[in-house]
Structure 1
Amino acid sequence: MTAQHTVTPTPQPPGGSSWALGGTVFAGVLMMVIGVVGVLNGIAGIASNDVYQRIGTYIYEFNLTTWGWIHLVIGVLVAVTGWGILKGAAWARGVGIGLTALFMIEYFLFLPYAPVWSVIAIALAVFVMWSLATADRTSITP
């Protein structure tokens, strides 16, 4: 006499795979981290006008106090939106894609001041935008 075994499927998170959910959570955390780093860059630029040294000439030149305020404002907005993504706010996904695109443009323009960090920030922004754009809508709701 042989016993029959039934295989029960592994439960999936509602609305998508665990990869989609994990990517969205990771994108929210990355947004909070890059937002806080942007705020810190902004405070440094506002507090001291010689924190960064421009490498060569560049067509998009601003003084460092202006860059400090730009970093501060965008950093706060990105961090708050990242928190919204982690909380599953309905507005956060679209706003997150838009703000991350703005963040990416900001760091492209900031390349002569901090080239290594700017390239890293642009790569992180691309990942965040991809993750938010490809995630299932229901994967970011609580």
Structure 2
Amino acid sequence: MAAMPDEGRRPSAHDDISATEKSAMFAGVALTVSGPLSILQGASGIANNTVFSPPHYAYRFDLTSWGWIHLVVGVALCVAGIGVLLHKAWGRGAGIALAGISLVTQFMFVPYYPVWSIIVMVFDLLILWTLARTAHPGAGHAH
């Protein structure tokens, strides 16, 4: 008789984590990674206006302005990510809103630095998708 794969295995703390909690954990970690990426992008724009070559297009700002925009959005993403990881009531909504804002700012920044912007946009979309499908704790239960 073949042994079952879980026979003799000690229970782990990870066994008690639901799929919803794992999704929220992914989103929280992703937010806390996306935040520093935006912070670095912002710091680069603030410190050295020649890092990105600005094309002529409708959303053209001074690169120092873009730097500050990305820096502020990055800090806010980090705060939202910590809120999600700590299961704060405001974390999920803030994460959705800020990932959406980050997505829009990255889209507007594509002509300046397309590869970086597209990578961060994909990351923001994963965050949005994960948080949007993650139910609130206790959702769907009658009280």
TM-score category, normalised to shorter length: 0.7 to 0.9
Residue of structure 2 equivalent to 1:103: 102
Gaps of 5+ in 1: 1-10
Give how far 1:126 is off.
Answer: 1.1
Query: For the residues of structure 2 that align with 1:109 and 1:80, how far apart are their CA atoms?
Result: 23
CA–CA distance in structure 1, aligned partners of residues 97 and 24 of structure 2: 15
**Matched AA of 1:58:** Y
Q: How does 1:18-33 map to 2 (within 5 A)?
A: 18-33=18-33
1:81 lines up with 2:80 in the alignment: yes
Question: What is the correspondence of 1:32-51 to structure 2 with a 5 Å cutoff?
Answer: 32-51=32-51
How far off its partner does 1:80 sit? 0.8
What does the per-residue CA deviation read over 1:57-112, in whole Å, with 9 as the maximum and x for residues that have no partner?
A: 32110111000000110100011110110011111111110111000000000001
Runs of 4+ that moved beyond 4 A: none
Report the Cα distance in structure 2 between the residues aligned to 1:85 and 1:41, rounded to whole angstroms.
23
Shift of 1:21: 1.9
Question: What TM-score do the two structures reach when normalised by structure 2?
Answer: 0.81
Specify the alignment match of 2:71 in structure 1: 72
Q: Structure 2, unaligned stretches of length 5 or more?
A: 1-14, 139-143
Task: Tell me how large the CA RMSD over aligned residues is.
Answer: 1.7
Corresponding residue number in structure 1 for 2:4: none
After TM superposition, give the deviation of residue 20 of structure 1 in Å: 2.4
Counterpart of 1:52?
Answer: 52
Length-normalised TM-score, structure 1: 0.82
Identity of aligned residues (%): 41
- What is the CA–CA distance in structure 1 between the aligned matches of 2:34 and 2:124, rounded to whole Å? 9
| Cα drift, residue 12 of structure 1 | 5.5
The alpha-carbon deviation at position 48 of structure 1 amounts to 0.9
SS of 2:61's equivalent in the other structure is coil
> Of the two structures, which has the highest relative contact order with CA contacts closer than 8 Å and spacing of 6 or more?
1
